[in-house]
């Protein structure tokens, strides 16, 4: 025990150092990464946005970042499956904490998120955001597009989120349509996986419905995503309700008939050829969860996103 420390999120002296906290103890940053607002020398940033005022059904996703961080403690510092590597041996990752929002002035929320995300992206090439409801993806896209230009959107979700709005609504069900109308994403190169509802318009985005996901092999879904995006820089957004409620009960708008966490994780693993410039995991609402099932799924999806970025960095170096 002499060489071991606890509270690695505070005591780490190197951003690439391994944590030795017991799984059941210690400060719960995401995967025990150091909590800091310093962006110097950082390859990737994990950031929480505890916001759920845009939900149309059950609230509670404001507690999602906390739940995902807590669940991520199950990842020790052995090579992470299925990437066969210590994700942090060559990739400096920090936990930037949470976005400070004024719960009494929701009209300020989009600008606050966009401004802070822009600051982070000025110093880091990869931002992984923990939500929060799905509205947060719209200001995140604005910040990413300002740096990278228009993006392809790869969206795992039970809902299309293309409902029309007036450009002013705070609504988690319309951010995709708004992003298309504002030219943030290229609809011809964007794709939605796991859709199990209907919206008035598809905005020209390729849809892979829930029953199609059921019939397809994971590798074929990955190949379809890669080919459809056509090499365009990509933003990856994962609404946890993409998964069947059996695998993610803790969410605001669950929809039966979805895929298993095992299948979708296999799909994610096959996306190593995507040029992913940013990502988020949203709609984890722990008040409706059981035994941290949803939080564990969300934390694992987030870990896969970091794993894909670690592989991309390794190819570049």
Binding residues for Mn(2+) are: 134, 157, 159, 161, 239, 241
Total residue count of the chain as it appears in this document: 317
How far is it, in rounded angstroms, from Cα 252 to Cα 81? 29
Check the CA dihedral 114-119-123-129 and report its sign: negative
Helix axis angle, 218-229 relative to 261-269, nearest 10°? 40
How far is it, in rounded angstroms, from Cα 91 to Cα 20? 18
The total of other beta-carbon atoms located within 10 Å of residue 317's CB is: 7
Radius of gyration of the chain (CA): 18
The torsion of the CA quartet 18, 24, 25, 29, rounded to 10 degrees, works out to: 60
Centroid of chain to Cα 42: 18
Secondary structure of residue 77 in the 3-state scheme: coil
Query: Where in the chain does DSSP place strands (E)?
Result: 34-35, 44-49, 93-98, 127-131, 152-156, 191-195, 206-209, 234-239, 276-282
Quick check: 10 and 27 in contact, CB under 8 A? yes
Give me the residues paired with residue 191 across strands: 154, 206
- Tell me if the bond preceding 82 is cis, omega within 30° of 0: yes
Positions at the binding site = 134, 157, 159, 161, 239, 241
């Amino acid at each position: 025990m002499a060489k071991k420390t606890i509270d690695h999120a505070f005591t780490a002296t190197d951003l690439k150092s391994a944590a030795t906290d017991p799984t059941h103890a210690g400060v719960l940053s995401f995967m025990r990464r150091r909590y800091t607002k310093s962006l110097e020398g950082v390859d990737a940033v994990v950031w929480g946005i505890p916001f759920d005022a845009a939900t149309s059904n059950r609230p509670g996703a404001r507690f999602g970042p906390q739940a995902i961080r807590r669940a991520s403690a199950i990842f020790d510092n052995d090579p992470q499956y299925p990437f066969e590597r210590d994700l942090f041996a060559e990739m400096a990752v920090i936990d930037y904490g949470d976005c400070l929002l004024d719960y009494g002035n929701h009209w300020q929320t989009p600008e606050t998120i966009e401004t802070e995300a822009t600051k982070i992206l000025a110093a880091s090439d990869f931002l992984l955001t923990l939500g929060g409801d799905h509205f947060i993806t719209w200001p995140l896209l604005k910040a990413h597009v300002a740096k990278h230009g228009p993006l392809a959107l790869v969206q795992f979700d039970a809902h299309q989120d293309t409902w029309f709005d007036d450009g002013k609504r705070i609504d988690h069900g319309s951010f995709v349509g708004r992003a298309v109308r504002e030219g943030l994403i290229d609809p011809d190169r964007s794709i939605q996986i796991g859709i199990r509802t209907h919206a008035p318009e598809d905005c020209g985005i390729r849809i892979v419905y829930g029953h199609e996901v059921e019939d397809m092999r994971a590798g074929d879904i990955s190949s379809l995503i890669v080919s459809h995006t056509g090499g365009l820089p990509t933003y990856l957004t994962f609404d946890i309700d993409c998964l069947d409620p059996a695998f993610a009960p803790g969410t605001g708008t669950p929809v039966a008939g979805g895929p298993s966490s095992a299948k979708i994780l296999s799909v994610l693993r096959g996306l190593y050829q995507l040029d992913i410039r940013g990502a988020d995991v949203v709609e984890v609402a722990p008040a409706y969860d059981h035994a941290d099932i949803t939080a564990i799924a969300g934390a694992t999806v987030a870990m896969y996103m970091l794993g894909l970025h670690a592989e991309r960095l390794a190819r570049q170096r």
